[in-house]
Amino acid sequence: MEEKKAEFKVFKNGPLQISGDFELFDSAGEIITRQSPIFLCRCGKSADKPFCDGSHKSAGFSG
């Protein structure tokens, strides 16, 4: 199977999207997910970190 290059996209006032082939590890070195795409929180308000749960909208995140 051919690998698909990982790509990163920052959404204005929202999360960081990662797509393609990658592995995401937690602080203990365990794989959290290989599923693509994922959306990582940039605002710090998500209750499901490191993933975005949409809280950036109600938090009025800008960035």
- Residues near ligand FES (CB under 6 A) are 14-15, 41-43, 45-46, 52-56
* Cβ-based nearer residue to ligand FES, 4 or 8: 8
- Rounded least distance, CB 40 to ligand FES, Å: 8
Question: From residue 28, how far is each of 18, 44, 46, 52 by CA, in Å?
Answer: 21, 20, 21, 21
* Cβ-based nearer residue to ligand FES, 4 or 11: 11
Of the candidates 6, 45, 24, which has an alpha carbon nearest to the alpha carbon of residue 15? 45
Distance of CA 40 to the CA centre of its chain: 2
- Rounded least distance, CB 4 to ligand FES, Å: 24
